[in-house]
């Protein structure tokens, strides 16, 4: 019972962390893509 409770809590925490990282990576990816696009446009 203790292990299952810990596992459920950990999985929920991991879900929040994964969602947070996905958001951060998406923002970073879009920002980098726009930065590269503008850099290419500058040339």
Query: pLDDT digits over 1-43, tens only?
Result: 566 766 666 677 888 888 999 999 999 999 888 888 887 887 6
Structure confidence at residue 8 (pLDDT): 66
Structure confidence at residue 12 (pLDDT): 78
The Cβ of residue 5 has, within 10 Å, a number of other Cβ atoms equal to 9
Q: What is the Rg, in whole angstroms, of the alpha carbon atoms belonging to the chain?
A: 18
- The tokens describing 34, both together, are 């726009």
Chain-centroid distance, C-alpha 26: 7
Structure confidence at residue 6 (pLDDT): 62
> What span, in angstroms and rounded, lies between the C-alpha atoms of 28 and 34?
10
> What span, in angstroms and rounded, lies between the C-alpha atoms of 27 and 5?
34
pTM, 2 dp: 0.49
């Amino acid at each position: 019972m203790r292990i299952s409770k810990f596992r459920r809590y950990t999985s929920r925490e991991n879900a929040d962390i994964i969602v947070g990282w996905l958001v951060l990576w998406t923002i970073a990816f879009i920002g980098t893509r726009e930065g590269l696009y503008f850099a290419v446009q500058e040339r």
